[in-house]
Structure 1
Amino acid sequence: MAKRLNNDSSIGDVLKQIIQVNKLQPGIDDVSVKDAWKNLMGNGVNTYTRNVILKGSTLYVELTSAVLREELSYGKAKIIKMINEELRREVVKDVVLR
Structure 2
Amino acid sequence: GTVSVGEAIGKMLEMYRLNAKFDETSVKVHWEKLVGPEIASRTSAIYVKEKVLFLQLTSAPLTQELVLAKKKLIESLNRAFGYEIITDIVFI
Range into which the TM-score falls when normalised by the shorter chain: 0.7 to 0.9
The aligned residue for residue 54 of structure 1 is: 48
Unaligned runs of 5+ in 1: 1-11
CA deviation vs aligned residue, 1:13-42 (integer Å, no higher than 9, x gap): 9xx2xx344311111111111111111110
RMSD: 1.9
Alignment of 1:3-82 (within 5 A): 16=12, 19-82=13-76
Which consecutive aligned stretches of 4+ in structure 1 deviate over 3 angstroms post-superposition? Answer: 19-22
Identity %: 30
Instruction: Give the match's secondary structure for 1:73.
Output: helix
Residue 90 (1) aligns with residue 84 (2): yes
SS at match of 2:79: helix
With normalisation by structure 1, the TM-score equals: 0.77
Greater relative CO, 1 or 2 (CA 8 Å, sep 6+): 2
Q: 1:61 to 1:81 in 2, by over 3 A?
A: same
Q: TM-score, normalised on structure 2?
A: 0.82
Equivalences, count: 84
Larger Rg: 1
